[in-house]
Structure 1
């Protein structure tokens, strides 16, 4: 197994391709877009956040979803129109509530491990991505939410994450530009931020120059496996043949996996962001340096260089709809104006992307039913945070398969 196709050129696909290339595989990346990182990896919140590793599988999440169902600007919005996919996903989501603590701890451990891999890839391939070791500041305006955060903090600590509780005055000391009334917060100095698109695109260009093949603007319509061969067919009828494939297609992974006999129950959960262009000195001085997470509004922020301020949030269960809705963008703009009144919102770029969410909130990583089909997908809202570690895990699985094949070939001789 030497010729490997990585399906998908988002952050998970590109990090996987880089890891496989470093292990000596002949790697081909296939994607329907013209450039790398043009879908969900284009304009996320920018946080690499082990501090946001809590999985969503709680009864409080279910109750909030029901409460907010008819509120268009709610942090969590569920389209009430039924579908079997949505219903089956929701049932599995509820079935994983007993695994809440275990999966939160496991996600924390994976997020911490991912940091070293992310930095190593950037250093080796010379990737610049507006990174900042600014830490992440969580703040709370509701006592009940803050008490829940204290309980979550114990789980994160079990996963190896060090955080510090802050008083309201200490929150302002950490980020003097932040306006609002708070009951407390948490500070995670080891978390950091960066531009996901710059990282993925820069890494893609670096490995392309080093020999990785890219087949962009290629829409895959079928896949078949025959013994040691995987055959892919694109929309033009062309057939491509590889020794193995790694599926990193985000929300597109479910349909392709079904053709291979694998059930990957990913549901698309839409998230929104705005990029506020800080065109004047006052806006640049008034925008925060620290990365923030507002628990009540479920909004995260990142400062990307001197002149960009990224604000992202909300979760929308609305199928594969990619529309950018004005009523979902407005709360992000209003949030900026409320907490950072000195920042001009005259120049705001909206965006929406579909997070590939598994019902247990854990990524699907490893081999499928067939020995030459692998998966690195389903990272949900933590794709940027977890991708480098899961790329390492799936690469180890592919290396093991290659070594196993070579062993059996020697025996046959």
Structure 2
């Protein structure tokens, strides 16, 4: 049996370990936290949203970023302090703009395919993750935003996704609790929502049952390869320990860039901070005032999910500020204000804030494939669509690893020794 290491215990790492275990590999998952899904997979927006497949590599995104640069509560915030990493990332972002259409279509196609895998896996393993299959409603306050969404809808259709324009009265019928004045919207009935943390921890339990060695609290110090094997070293100082594998899949989120560099690969991921709040619906009136249908407000770049009966999640914003996970009040306050404006009957007395770093590639496409070494693979860089795309990219990388190791015909083994 061939041995594979998976670096990272978030949504992409756990789904990758699952896809590999189902293919008969002996899998070891390394995660620095004591549990799975404790970073970017902890409290995201909850949307499984093929309708949000539009990539950001559009001139309008860049212009908005420049416009909002000095506005602390802006949906997209760019710290003007330069760094080589940031400059190189934005240079590649601009260079990717000609591929905006094809990458949006490709992302939609991936998102549609991912649903089948994710729902099937959840059913097979009996995972309850507050799934709601009630669609996603995109809301627009002006004609310009609505017209741009109409053009995006044409691209999504080419990727196999159907969504329809709806009038303000139809919007109120779809989600009666939504307050405010709107020009129109687009509704995607096939989209859904769920709790990413619940799903990932449930699948982590499933991979353990399937024989995956889940090593939590293991801070990976180095990953090296000689082209035939991969050495993974964990621990500190004289307590370091090295394990040898036939291959490795890097699913380390924003840490993937540093791991790749040590393996001789360039994976230009930038950490784009996003924020969320979880509103605890403590009374019946708040539960009645909170929406059941998921929303995406394109103007404020906020998304919502109803998680069970007593939680309401609001998430969004994009902050280019390096590896910084500080939870800033001036970034959280607009999310609370938005809730109070759009759902005035909902109490915001109990709100839990959170921030996480999205691993984003400059072209907004996940890095799924082989590295320079034949025993190194990547499944990372999913940006704001990690939850939406994770199941399909895990299945893709599972097939690539299977093909790659069969080509090498390496006899399987796992050896552990002190470093």
Pairwise TM-score range, normalised by the shorter structure: over 0.9
Q: Residues 329 and 408 (structure 1 numbering): CA distance in 2 closer, same or farther, change over 3 Å?
A: closer
Does structure 1 residue 362 correspond to structure 2 residue 365?
yes
- The TM-score, its normalising length taken from structure 1, stands at 0.98
Q: How far is the alpha carbon of 1:292 from its aligned partner?
A: 0.2
Alignment partner for residue 331 of structure 1, among 329, 334, 337? 334
Give the match for residue 314 of structure 1: 317
Kept in 1: contact 2:114–2:390 (CA 8 A) = yes
Q: Residues 93 and 125 (structure 1 numbering): CA distance in 2 closer, same or farther, change over 3 Å?
A: same
User: Equivalent residue of 1:41, what SS?
Assistant: coil
Give the match for residue 205 of structure 2: 205
Give the match for residue 415 of structure 2: none
Partners of 2:170 and 2:139 lie apart in 1 by 11
Partners of 2:99 and 2:162 lie apart in 1 by 22
Give the stretch that moved more between structures: 324-333 or 236-245. 236-245
Partners of 2:171 and 2:8 lie apart in 1 by 40
Kept in 1: contact 2:369–2:378 (CA 8 A) = yes
Partners of 1:405 and 1:125 lie apart in 2 by 32
Kept in 1: contact 2:77–2:320 (CA 8 A) = yes
Give the match for residue 303 of structure 2: 300
Q: Which structure 1 residue ranges, 4+ long, deviate > 4 Å from structure 2?
A: none
Q: Residues 403 and 178 (structure 1 numbering): CA distance in 2 closer, same or farther, change over 3 Å?
A: same
Structure 2 unaligned segments of length 5 or more: list them: 413-419
Deviation per residue, 1:22-68 (Å, 9 max, x gap)? 11111110011110000000000000000000000011111100000
Partners of 1:226 and 1:70 lie apart in 2 by 47
Kept in 2: contact 1:286–1:342 (CA 8 A) = yes
Q: How far is the alpha carbon of 1:222 from its aligned partner?
A: 1.4
Partners of 2:100 and 2:107 lie apart in 1 by 11
Deviation per residue, 1:84-142 (Å, 9 max, x gap)? 00000001000111000000000000000000010111111111100010100001002
* Structure-to-structure mapping, 1:212-227, within 5 angstroms: 212-227=212-227
* Structure-to-structure mapping, 1:239-258, within 5 angstroms: 239-258=242-261
Q: How far is the alpha carbon of 1:209 from its aligned partner?
A: 2.4
- The TM-score, its normalising length taken from structure 2, stands at 0.96
Deviation per residue, 1:296-349 (Å, 9 max, x gap)? 111000000000000001000000000000100000000000000110000000
Partners of 1:331 and 1:322 lie apart in 2 by 18
RMSD, matched Cα: 1.2
Kept in 2: contact 1:142–1:296 (CA 8 A) = no
Does structure 1 residue 155 correspond to structure 2 residue 155?
yes
Give the match for residue 267 of structure 1: 270
Give the match for residue 75 of structure 2: 75
Kept in 2: contact 1:50–1:108 (CA 8 A) = yes
Q: Residues 334 and 25 (structure 1 numbering): CA distance in 2 closer, same or farther, change over 3 Å?
A: same
User: Equivalent residue of 1:342, what SS?
Assistant: coil
Give the match for residue 189 of structure 2: 189
Q: Residues 407 and 81 (structure 1 numbering): CA distance in 2 closer, same or farther, change over 3 Å?
A: closer
Partners of 1:66 and 1:14 lie apart in 2 by 37
* Structure-to-structure mapping, 1:47-58, within 5 angstroms: 47-58=47-58
Does structure 1 residue 64 correspond to structure 2 residue 64?
yes
Does structure 1 residue 278 correspond to structure 2 residue 286?
no
Q: How far is the alpha carbon of 1:227 from its aligned partner?
A: 3.7
Kept in 2: contact 1:11–1:41 (CA 8 A) = yes
Give the match for residue 29 of structure 1: 29
Deviation per residue, 1:132-158 (Å, 9 max, x gap)? 101000010021111111111110111
Kept in 2: contact 1:26–1:212 (CA 8 A) = yes
Partners of 1:99 and 1:401 lie apart in 2 by 28
Partners of 1:37 and 1:150 lie apart in 2 by 35
Partners of 1:98 and 1:306 lie apart in 2 by 44
